[in-house]
Amino acid sequence: MTVEGGAVMVRVEQIPLHQIRRPLPRQNDPNKVQALMESIREIGQQEPIDVLEVDGQYYGFSGCHRYEACQRLGKETILARVRKAPKSVLRMHLA
Ligand code: ADP
């Protein structure tokens, strides 16, 4: 799916987990991860995580619990809302 709104282009697609860089690792709540694993196993991932695409590379800053849940379920991909962004936006996230 592709949505064009002005200069912003967003698409929702399955992205290989290993292609998503997570520059700011966060401490996850293991109970949340466990609950998400059960739910995702049962009904699938209901809401995509948000990722930035900068120069063809994917970066994730949120959706940490869904990311870990999918990883621990042994999934190769995760449903993501991908927003293309320039390096300046990435720098903002890293600041
Ligand atoms: P995260 O760090 O991934 O955002 P949270 O525990 O803060 O984790 O929030 C869980 C999110 O996962 C919610 O936004 C919820 O809509 C989403 N979600 C996607 N798929 C599922 C699912 N199968 N069961 C429960 N929540 C789900």
Q: What's the mean pLDDT when you consider all of the chain?
A: 93
Angstrom distances, CA of residue 39 to CA of 59, 73, 74: 25, 11, 15
Structure tokens at 60: 């994730």
Residue among 42, 51, 66, 73 whose CB has most ligand 1 atoms within 8 A, to mutate: 66
C-beta atoms surrounding 42 within 10 Å: 7
pLDDT digits (tens, 9 = 90+) for 34-55: 999 999 999 999 999 999 999 9
Question: Structural domain boundaries of the chain?
Answer: 2-94
- Which of residues 81 and 9 earns the better pLDDT score? 81
Distance CA(69)–CA(17), nearest Å, equals 11
Confidence of residue 8 (pLDDT cuts 50, 70, 90): low
The pLDDT assigned to 9 comes to: 80
For ligand 1, whether the C-beta of 63 sits within 6 Å is yes
Q: How far is the CA of 22 from the centre of ligand 1 (A)?
A: 17
pLDDT digits (tens, 9 = 90+) for 19-37: 999 999 889 999 999 999 9
For ligand 1, whether the C-beta of 45 sits within 6 Å is yes
Which residues are paired to 82 by β-bridges?
11, 51
Burial 66-87, CB ≥16 within 10 A → b, else e: bbbbbeeeebeebbbbbeebee
Q: How far is the CA of 59 from the centre of ligand 1 (A)?
A: 18
For ligand 1, whether the C-beta of 55 sits within 6 Å is no
Q: Does the structure show a pLDDT above 70 at 2?
A: no
CATH class of 2-94: alpha beta
Which residues are paired to 57 by β-bridges?
54
Which residues are paired to 60 by β-bridges?
51
